[in-house]
Structure 1
Amino acid sequence: MTDPGRQHGARQPSTLQALRRLDPFVEPVRRSILIAMAMALAASLVSLAVPQVLQRIVDGPLADKDAAAIPGAVAIIAALGVVEAALYFARRLFIVGPATRVEASMRRALFAKLQDLPVAFHDRWPSGQLLSRSMTDLSLIRRFIAFGFIYLVVNMITIGVGFVVLLLMSPLLAIVFMVCSVPLWINGFRFERRYHIVARRSQDQQGDLATLVEESVHGIRVLKAFGRSRTKLQGFLQRAEELRGTEIEKAQAVAQIWLWLLLVPDVAFALCLLTGVWQASIGALSVGQLVAFFATATVLRFPLESIGFLLSMLFDTRTATDRLFEVFDEENTIQEPAQSAHIADAHGRLEFQGVHFHYPDAPASAPDLLDGVDLSIEPGETMALVGLTGSGKTTMVELAGRLYDVTGGRILLDGVDIRDLTRMELRTHIAMAFEEATLFSASVRDNVLLGRPDAGDDVLMEALDIAQAKFVYDLPDGLETTIGEEGLSLSGGQRQRLALARAVAANPAVLVLDDPLSALDVDTEALVEAALRQVLTRTTALIVAHRPSTVQLADRVALLEQGRVIAVGTHSELLATSERYRFVISSLEDELRPGVVGGQTQQEVDA
């Protein structure tokens, strides 16, 4: 299982360039971030002021044994401590709201992008990868904006100001301290290169693991039915172990930088202590200056040590940003027209003119799935598509709803190329019901009126009656009963009937049905077909038929063979004139013995 967003061999932008792509989302709260950063910087500068007060206490009242001056100096230190705590508290309160707004706006934009991208995109991308981007990666970005970015900048400024203060106190001690810090920066750059690669691999593996969990939960009935839960568990454990190994590699990289972050300041403190005591002994440095120097160095210790986890947070965020924009950068191949046409009163005439189709990810050498289809369906006519598996029936109905775009030829609705209509208008004229009925975690009412949410109860009840879905009235809350995830709490036939009711309730000019009755028993199917005949008298219909009984609903039948329409006529006409049609219909009637028709093989029929 792979992540289509992973890039191999491509030149990667710098971390700064990658994070700059967040600017459109951050711009509305930039002022809040700068104010929070100013508060944090003020708190850090206040902490640097405390050693200066200590120096004056040691060199003044303590050296002069002036006890009366000490309480005032202590009060100043206490006041500085209170101000510092208040600034940190205010920063946290001030930034939480803006950071969550950035996360919310990015999540809205990502969900809107996922809804807008074509079906071909979702065919390629595992759901777990999209889920990890919309949850884990966005959470990482929000935490970096609220904390990591602010303190990375503030701590760098604090370190710079602190070094200047140390230089003013004692140039020699400051130089010793700064020279000892050089290994930190060298290892910091080495850490960036190593950690970015490992962090990306970790986040991709988390997406793979999420996909595996989602598939296992979605297919739990199949796993239990075939007794393969243990096998799936082994696959999960293998993926989890790979992720664990990558997380250990991440931890080792972080541990290495922490080794330097902890060791270097201690070595620097020891060398500075030796040098400082020597300087104090020769009178080059006062005791107060020495105390203030080490108090300042102690204040700088946290900013120095924080560089490790702030850098790891920075590179995690950079990776999350890369992964997020891999989705945002995906091109929507189902484009809106530059100048849209409009059908004021759709009659439902549907025409396929020289239609070719080739899946985007299929090899270039592969033949077209549809190879020059010509077919016209008149307003109010019901056309059935019949053909063996792989002939292109489902592809034709998906093209009619523009779930994919034709790669050659065109499809016309009332004489207008469907690519000249906005997707929203097209899908008000054409409604679809698929063999695999998908329902949402919403009420029965919301599911059925999905394509026409403003319709009244009369439309809803008529659609349910036509689809023979009166079982909904016996559910715990009737029409307001919330259907579980993907409607799996219902039987396959019940789901199909609700999906059919949804298509009927949309009241389209063209009704496209992809074998929507396959899960129904014979009696229920007969009732649904009888009710459907009423609907089909007032709408154009294109039906993929896998059952002879479904063919009986049609005014005419189109026979597909290897991506081409090879015969069109009524069911009776084709039975009388097309030997190939008789074979296909017989195959539908005798699905338990594929390839055998009345004791004859395919080759015998063709002969």
Structure 2
Amino acid sequence: MAENPAPLPQPPTPEPTRSTVRSLLRLRAYAYPIRWYLAGAVLAALLASGAVLVTPLVLGRIVDGPIAHRDTGALWPLVGLLLVLGLAEAGLFGLRRILVARPLARVEAAMRGDLYAKLQRLPVAFHDRWASGQLLSRATSDMYTLRLFLAFGFIFLIVNSLTFLVGSVVMLVLDWRLGLIALAPSVPLMLFCTRFESKYSLAARTAQDQNGDLATVLEESVLGIRILKSFGRHRTMARQFAERAERLRGTELHKTRLLADLWAVIVLLPELALGSALAVGAVLVAHDQLSTGALVAFLSTALALRWPVESMGWLLAYSNEAGTATDRLFEVLDAPEPPLTHGTAGPATGDGIRLRDVRFRYPDAPDGTPDLLRGIDLHIRRGETMALVGATGSGKTTLTALLPRLYEPTAGSITLDGRDTAALEPAELRSLVAVAFEDPILFSATVRENVLMGAPEATDAALEKALAVAQADFVTDLPDGVDTEVGEQGLSLSGGQRQRLALARAVVGGPPFLVLDDPLSALDVRTEALVEAALREVLADSTALVVAHRPSTVLLADRVAVLADGRILDVGTHPELLARCPEYRALMSGALEGSVA
């Protein structure tokens, strides 16, 4: 039996009551700069539809005129007019495409750019709650859906509605009796479309969310392919992918059934009305109450309205998909951002790093659970290196993430040289604080680009020095040296090589504050010793907080802080803590035993 797929992180559940029109109106800000192109496209499509509606009137004139009177001389001008109308229709519809193609590509790029920029500004806590595939699907398939809606759906909703209204007036003018018969299905069609919209909107949203889930599983399978193959779990992941794909398939089939029901009604009722109008019209012509030309014009007009009527099913479906895509886009764009500043940072005082009564809990932590960090008070003096040690799960990594404001403290304050981090602009704060995490992330770029991400303006000499500090001499053996592409997430390199490049990225700019989260864990003993020796020079010019698990890393620090149960248990030098802190002795003895083993 197939295993149930593991639940994925999900965005907030949308409101159950929504309006497609209200959702689509939120696109006004993006459509406004190209409003004249859209207006021109609507006008071109309206004129093309006008040519379609004039054609039946010309046909009626031909039947009642040249054909009825056998006047071939009067026939050719009318035939020429039909040709002109056909060419005008084709040209105007082509002009509509030309008018909107390039501007709408810019709109799509603008929406995608805003979404990407928003994702960069949102806190890490937001990304913790959202599956990556949900965000990817919003940036790709949803953007495509919105562009197509503005290019086709929006324009033809206006054009086809006006065409139907004008055509209805023409039919009523030609013969009000036949017009009423032909228009009789309008009311039941509107009621059925309203019912369809509510059901289809829900199905469209479900399909888009399921598509995001599927993208997440696919992304995880590709990025984790080594683990899947190593543990022989590729079949398990394949079952999960297949089950989610089957769910999406079922939802898409449900959408197809809803659309098929709508099309059946939209096609059947007008056809019945048209057949009835034809029968009644034939009787009226037989009793000389209607001319043959007028009947031909009426029927031709009714046939010309088939596309505007039948297209309403597709337009309603696409409008609902665009509406839900808009909702999904603005779920991200409306997400609250952390305030950029709180008051004034003030001048630097050379006070180093201070944490005062800092508390933290994750936003999605269950009610009633204690804070992860509770009343942290810590002072790292200017130019000092402090090691942070603690048991697994004690909150060390979370504490280091608070300094560059990857997370916002729930309470308390953090200052850098007397300047409150909450009052610093993010760009300034992150130019002051450099970080290197235990799990190094590299990008699909060159070694140079990955390292200089820590200081884009750094010189080649600074790059070479940073690589030397990190003992990243392996770079010289790469095919193109520092200009070698390292591949997605740097998977072409070993774990130790990736960790050394991440360390080089942290120190390349000579930052005044360094946060190192066990940056040497993947290194062998010899390389670790070399890196530590080089790091001592860098740390001498910085104020640093180093998460340490090994005694050798602890010895890089001037003092050590012990974190336990969400609090700073003790602070002192390595010998002092060995002498007076049992918890510290236990941590160090465990580390020594692990290194010996």
| Structure 2 length-normalised TM | 0.97
Q: CA deviation at 1:562?
A: 0.8
Equivalent AA in structure 1 for residue 46 of structure 2: L
| 1:95–1:146 contact (8 Å) kept in structure 2 | yes
Cα distance in structure 2, aligned partners of 1:19 and 1:392: 44
In the alignment, structure 1 residue 7 sits paired with structure 2 residue 7: no
Q: Are positions 1:464 and 2:467 aligned together? A: yes
Give the Cα separation in 2 of the matches to 1:402 and 1:429.
12
Give 1:343 deviation, angstroms. Answer: 5.0
The one-letter amino acid of 1:231's match is T
Shift of 1:592: 8.2
Q: How does 1:125-274 map to 2 (within 5 A)?
A: 125-274=130-279
What SS class does the counterpart of residue 482 from structure 1 fall into? coil
Q: CA RMSD in A?
A: 1.5
Aligned-partner residue type, residue 248 of structure 1: L
Does structure 2 retain, via aligned residues, the 8 Å contact 1:342–1:421?
no
Q: CA deviation at 1:347?
A: 4.6
Counterpart-to-counterpart distance in 2, 1:55 and 1:488: 73
Query: Cα deviation per residue 1:271-320 (whole Å; 9 max; x = unaligned)?
Result: 11100100101111101101111111111111111111111000000111
- Aligned pairs for 1:105-144 (under 5 A) are 105-144=110-149
The alpha carbon displacement at 1:48 in A equals 0.5
The answer to whether the 8 A contact 1:348-1:540 is kept is no
Aligned CA distance change for structure 1 residues 252 and 87 (closer, same or farther; 3 Å): same
Letter in 2 for 1:249: H
User: 2 CA distance for matches of 1:61 and 1:366?
Assistant: 89
Picking from 95, 113, 123, the partner of 1:90 is: 95
Q: Whole-Å Cα distance in 2 between the matches of residues 364 and 270 of structure 1?
A: 66
Q: Report the residue type matching 1:540 in the other structure.
A: T
Aligned-partner SS, 2:272:
helix
The answer on whether the counterparts of 1:262 and 1:305 sit within 8 Å (CA) in structure 2 is: yes
1:193-223 deviation per Cα after TM superposition (whole angstroms, max 9, x unaligned): 1101111111110001101111111111111
CA contact (8 A) 1:5 1:327 kept: no
Structure 2: runs of 5+ lacking an equivalent: 1-6
Q: Distance in 2 between matches of 1:207 and 1:254?
A: 23
Cα shift at 1:338:
5.1
Query: Is contact 2:342–2:422 with CA below 8 Å preserved after alignment?
Result: no
Q: 1:55 to 1:189 in 2, by over 3 A?
A: same
Partner of 2:559: 556
| Corresponding residue for residue 341 of structure 2 | 337
Shift of 1:54: 1.0
Q: CA-to-partner distance for each residue in 1:542-597, whole Å, 9 max, x for gaps?
A: 10001111011111111111111111111112112222211110111223899xxx
Report if the CA contact (8 A) 1:356-1:368 is conserved. Answer: yes
Aligned to 2:524: 521
For residues 581 and 400 of structure 2, the distance between their equivalents in structure 1, rounded to whole angstroms, comes to: 24
AA at the equivalent of 1:549 = S
Contact 2:389–2:561 (Cα < 8 Å) also in 1: yes
The separation in 2 between residues aligned to 1:443 and 1:37, in whole angstroms, is: 48
Q: Is the contact made by 1:155 and 1:303 (CA closer than 8 Å) also made in structure 2?
A: yes
1:535 corresponds to which letter in structure 2?
V
Q: 1:445 aligns with which of 445, 448, 466?
A: 448
Aligned to 2:476: 473
Determine if contact 1:348/1:510 at 8 Å carries over to the other structure. no
Aligned equivalents of 2:596 and 2:529: distance in 1?
24
- Write the distance in 2 (CA, Å) between the matches of 1:255 and 1:6: 31
Deviation at 1:269, TM superposition (A): 1.9
Deviation at 1:341, TM superposition (A): 2.6
**Aligned equivalents of 1:472 and 1:342: distance in 2?**
42
| CA–CA separation in structure 1 for the residues paired with 2:316 and 2:102 | 24
Change (3 A) 1:348 1:519: farther
1:107-153 C-alpha deviation (Å, 9 max, x unpaired): 00000000000000000000000000111111101000001110011
Q: How far 1:405 sits from its partner (Å)?
A: 1.4
SS at match of 2:196: helix
1:356 to 348, 354, 359: 359
From 287, 296, 313, the counterpart of 1:282? 287
Matching residue of 1:512: 515
1:311 and 1:417 map into 2 onto residues whose CA distance is: 53
**Pick from 77, 80, 94: which aligns with 2:85?**
80
Where structure 1 has 5 or more consecutive residues not aligned to the other structure, the ranges are 595-607
Deviation at 1:409, TM superposition (A): 1.6
Q: Identify the residue that residue 499 of structure 1 maps to in structure 2.
A: 502
How far the C-alpha of 1:510 sits from its partner, in A, is 0.7
Q: Does the aligned pair in 2 maintain the 1:3–1:208 contact within 8 Å?
A: no
1:349 is displaced (CA, Å) by: 0.4
Equivalent of 1:376 in 376, 379, 385:
379
CA distance in 1, matches of 2:72, 2:245: 65
Give the drift of 1:328. Answer: 1.1
Kindly indicate whether the alpha-carbon contact (under 8 Å) linking 1:5 and 1:323 is maintained by their aligned counterparts in 2.
no
In 2: Cα distance, 1:19 partner to 1:131 partner = 21
Provide the rounded CA distance (Å) in 1 between the counterparts of 2:246 and 2:75. Answer: 61
**Structure 1 residues 343 and 443: alpha-carbon distance in aligned structure 2, compared to 1, 3 A threshold:** farther
Matched letter for residue 316 of structure 1: E
Deviations 1:10-63 (A, max 9, x none): 352321111111111111111111110010011001110111111111111111
Taking structure 1 as reference, are residues 135 and 47 closer, same or farther at Cα in structure 2, changes over 3 Å only? same
> Counterparts of 1:510 and 1:347 in 2: how far apart (Å)?
12
Pick the aligned partner of 1:417 from 417, 420, 430.
420
Q: Secondary structure at the match of 2:279?
A: helix
* d(CA) in 2 for partners of 1:262, 1:229: 48
Tell me the percent identity.
Answer: 52
Per the alignment, residue 566 of structure 1 pairs with: 569
1:310-325 equivalences under 5 Å are: 310-325=315-330
Q: Does 1:45 align with 2:87?
A: no
